[in-house]
Amino acid sequence: MSDANAIEQNLIKQFLLPILHLKKRHPLLPGARTLKGEAGFIGISEDELMEARIRYAVTAKEAALELLKEDLLVDVLGGQPFSDKAKIVVAGDSLTEDAQGWFEILRNVLEIGSEGDFTCVNAAIAGATSLDALRTFERDVITEKPTWVIIALGSIDAMRLHGVPNRNLVSLAEFWENISAMESMAGEVTKNPVIWITPPSVDSDLMKETPLFEGYINESDLHHYREVIAGKTGIVVDPYGQRLGRPVSSWNLGPDGFHQSTAGHMETVRAMFRALAAVKAGS
């Protein structure tokens, strides 16, 4: 294997494997629904892919078990924030699609720590802007007939491309229109309010150094996208984007400056439970 191929393989294994689920991107391709097909597309063996996914599942479960030792989660779960037979569907980008990320940790928290039967559907797709999510919202979210909808978008919308640094990928006005459309669509299938997850903080300098990205994200831009979300009705999780620290703690981020570490994903779950506790206290 050449040095260039070795670098690519390392990038795939370090950054991309947790967020590569081909059946989401290519649902009509038969090979995208098999482990063999996915592994062949990625360029690794079936055993490597299976072992990685088992490892991610273990990481998410262990993180959930740690969180379930905390009074906040135990108290909120005791109040049954989601009813029995609830189906929770999330739309988001790679921060949510991550196989060892916050939504998978949440899935384990609910399955282990709460009475009742829950279905969690991770409809997030890496690299998705709000426009991308809107385009597939009917197929990936609405047809699931969710009782709860979580929308965790804005990070990629706020990105500035290296070749076009004077604008964000999706303007604030377009972002507002896109998430408002999704909110209206969700309201057609469930009476429960949308749960909004604001974009977490990033390390722009690290992002600029990582060949994985075609651009970077500024904290000053994220602030404005969070403001748009904070103005929505529903349950807003971490409206000021403080859950990973201010300034952002390196402990909560991965080496690319964008994706969260397990500790960072746990902070997102904590922030969600703080928001649910606040709703309960105000009801």
The listed range with the strongest mean pLDDT (25-34, 207-216, 232-241) is 232-241
Q: What is the pLDDT of residue 31?
A: 76
Average pLDDT over residues 75-83: 90
Q: What pairs with residue 149 in β-bridges?
A: 89
Q: Sorting pLDDT into bands at 50, 70 and 90, what band is 1?
A: very low
**End-to-end CA gap in the chain:** 61
Q: What is the pLDDT of residue 43?
A: 79
Q: What is the pLDDT of residue 186?
A: 98
Residue 2: pLDDT over 60:
no
pTM: 0.91
Q: Sorting pLDDT into bands at 50, 70 and 90, what band is 169?
A: very high
State the Rg of the chain over Cα.
Answer: 18
The set of residues, in sequence order, having a beta carbon less than 8 Å from that of 125 and lying 6+ positions away, is: 24, 25, 93, 97, 132, 133, 136, 140
